[in-house]
Each structure stands twice: as structure tokens, then as C-alpha cells.
Amino acid sequence: MLTVAEAFARVLATARPLPTETVPLPRAAGRILAENLVADRDFPPFNRVAMDGIAVVHAAWAAGQTEFEIEHTQYAGAPPQPLQNPHAAVEVMTGAVLPPGTDVVVRYEDILLADNRATIQIPPPSAPGVNIHGQAADRRRGDVLLKPGTRLGPAELAVAATVGAADIAVTRAPRLAVISTGDEPGGHH
């Protein structure tokens, strides 16, 4: 008679990995990923405004300028509109593309806004980049997000959907059969 450990070792010695198949993303739930899932773009894909307020040129603010004329507004989802005058500002909304030509965002709470002019009420930071979520700060294009062997639950499927994986390679689901042999002794009393 084999021990459990011996039987387990014999089974593993003859076991082969299941073949892979490509299935539509909704059918991949609960399956095992069989490929690297990589970022299809930088996350975020651009320098993103992290707070409502104004975007300015750090050098102008650091040189002592505290009053800035508002040139235009950059809304989330709108194409980027560059700052034309480095001594002006762009009103910005959270999630918007950082206007090209600007490198720091000042929150509404830290400015006085009147007559299309913003007066900054706080000292400048030591370096640009404040209140900006930098391009690729989370992930770079090509980074591996999920590795083979990952069980695909709701969170993993959401990651796959985010990078546009309509079809995904998974291991084929095992086919099982139960074979009953013999009979149970002493069944009747």
C-alpha cells in the first residue's frame, strides 16, 4: 500500500501543465493567467493635475511673482492648451492634462481669485512638480502588471480591461472524471 506522500509524488511525476487557450476577458474569471499582462501605456499617460487651482511656472513664482493673470482654463478631458505667457497662469481642474509650459499647481485654498487674476498666498515650494501626478508615476508602458500563474479574480480582470485586453491567454480548465470502484463493506445491518 502506498502512503499519501508516495501517491502524491507519483501523481506529480506524471503531471503535465495544462495547455493554454485564449478566451474573451469575461470568460477568464477564476482562470489562471498564462501570459504576462503588460501596461499598454504610461499610467498616468500625461502629467496630470492633482488639485483644482492654477498652474504656473515655478521659476516666475520663485523669483517673487505672486500675482498671475488667468490666461485660460484647462478642464479634465480637454486637449492640452499650453501657457503662452510664462508670467500668467492657467486655471486647472483635477485630472486635467498639466498645461504645457507650466510646472507647478497652486490649490484654490492657497490663492485669492478676483477679476481674472490669482494672487498666491503661500511661499513657493523649493522645486517644481507640486500637486502634479507625473506621467508614468504609477506604471510605465511595457511594465508587467500581472504574471503567469495569477488567478484572475475581479481586481485582476479590471486591470486587464484597463489595458484593453479583450482576449486573454489562460490555462485550459481541467477536465475531471470520478471513477468509483469496489463497494463499501458492511453496508446493511
Alpha-carbon span 88 to 57, nearest angstrom? 8
Task: For residues 53 and 127, state if they share a domain.
Answer: yes
Q: What is the DSSP string of 123-174?
A: PPPSSS-TTEE-TTSSB-TT-EEE-TT-B--HHHHHHHHHTT-SEEEEEPPP
Give the total number of structural domains in the chain.
2
pTM of full prediction above 0.75: no
Identify the CA nearest to 130 among candidates 62, 71, 185, 181: 62
CA angle 155, 143, 96 (to 5 degrees): 75
Question: Does some domain include residue 108?
Answer: yes
Task: For residues 158 and 118, state if they share a domain.
Answer: no
Mean pLDDT of 79-96: 97
Mean pLDDT of 155-163: 93
Question: Does some domain include residue 7?
Answer: no
Tell me the per-residue pLDDT of 160-170, one tens digit each, with 9 for 90 and over: 999 988 999 99
If DSSP codes are grouped into helix, strand and coil, which group holds residue 37? strand
Task: For residues 99 and 165, state if they share a domain.
Answer: no
Task: For residues 119 and 66, state if they share a domain.
Answer: yes
Tell me the per-residue pLDDT of 125-134, one tens digit each, with 9 for 90 and over: 999 999 999 9
Identify the CA nearest to 75 among candidates 103, 50, 94: 94
Structural domain containing residue 96:
48-133
CATH code at 30? 3.90.105.10
Q: What is the pLDDT of residue 18?
A: 78
Tell me the per-residue pLDDT of 28-52, one tens digit each, with 9 for 90 and over: 999 999 999 999 999 999 999 999 9
CATH code at 118? 2.170.190.11
Task: For residues 166 and 100, state if they share a domain.
Answer: no
